[in-house]
Structure 1
Amino acid sequence: MSDGAPVVLSPAELVDVPLAWPVEGSTVLGHGHIADFRQDDVRTPDGSLIQREYLQHPGAVAVIALDAEERVALVRQYRHPVRHRLVEPPAGLLDVEGEDYLAAVQRELAEEVDLAAGKWHVLVDQFSTPGIVGESIRVYLARDLRGAPAPDGFVREGEEADMDVVWAPLSDLVDAVLAGRLHNPSLVSGVLAADAARARGWTPLRPADAPWPAREHLVTATRR
């Protein structure tokens, strides 16, 4: 801790800066169905060589779908790595080459909860676990909801076959997050962002087609 005055960032400085330290070697420790487990030899600014292991992930989108009564459409899904059945927003992988982010989340909304929406905005962008997983997630807000059929040929498999669709008021979700009862990162960040945006009259939200430069940098820097 320095003896001087604290460093206080200005609003313009509150930004994550794209950066890639040199990678002098990379080994795939394991190939998976969704992600690869890699080990990189990374050269630090002081000249040291360090090894970092991480999952290389395709990224994902999620959606807080809010109806006219301010209830959120949710699913309950088993997640084996954490041994819990989690309350989650509709979400899915960005694993279709060249698919638009908004088109991907609209597809997931129809597949998982049989809904479409007339209004779309970006709520929050995040790296889910930046110390060990290279996963970028964009969480959208969808309003003006209506029923929609699942896309032709879509069949729920694995955990999704046991998934159910539920609803909860946005305010109750905020209370449950703050009480430590809900843990899915897209749900936690999404409902808190939605609640904050609601308190500001929805005015600070980005359009649905807003750029996602952090993800673009991640994809470019890790492409092999």
Structure 2
Amino acid sequence: MTKVDRPQAAATVFGERVEVAERFVALLAEHGVARGLIGPREVDRLWDRHVLNSAVLAEGVPTGARVVDVGSGAGLPGVPLAIARPDLNVTLVEPMARRVAWLDEVVETLALTTVTVVRGRAEEPAVRSRVLGAEVVTARAVAPLAKLSGWCLPLVRQGGLLIALKGASAAEEIDRDREAIAALGGGEPRLETYGGAVLDMPTTAVLIERVRSTAVGRERPRRTRKDQGAHRG
């Protein structure tokens, strides 16, 4: 396997499972570029920008939680989170067959017994039926906040959280999409940072609690038979 130098922070974040994390980084370094999972310039930044950046989300996830990682791709943030927190039950949701094949290989190679891979899109009924009721749903660089909330909040149980990893645009997205998020059953979005004690650049995330259930079309008024008849002919 390709070796990428391990930073000191890795031992703090992953503890006794740091060697498992190191194997995951080596797999990404060896196969990630060729399989279209990461860009060529990302190999030297795998630890700080991708793996540690993902794993520090563990600070915000309750003990023993069911976690669904939407659009998992290379396994970020779901795989580092599962390595750092073996108490979690993590489901990786990914629509692309080649990435699903990669995730299956990672789960088997690293013996991640608490991780399941599901192929499909979060908005598909068959996928939703398998992963409904998660305490936490995560997503990293998947879509703008309003669209992401539409995909992810239905998977979150009431009182649970969507944790969306975001960059510099996070505050702007919150201001723009606040009303759409509320309409989807989400509470007031809030910014949170993780890993401040161990990372030079802490991870920024938007947290959205699911505060109520919604049903598509529930607010749409029903037409009476009289109404329907008025539109015939």
| Same-fold call, TM cutoff 0.5 | no
Query: Taking structure 1 as the reference length, what is the TM-score of the superposition?
Result: 0.24
Larger helix share, 1 or 2: 2
Q: Which has the higher contact order (CA 8 A, sep 6+)?
A: 1
Larger strand share, 1 or 2: 1
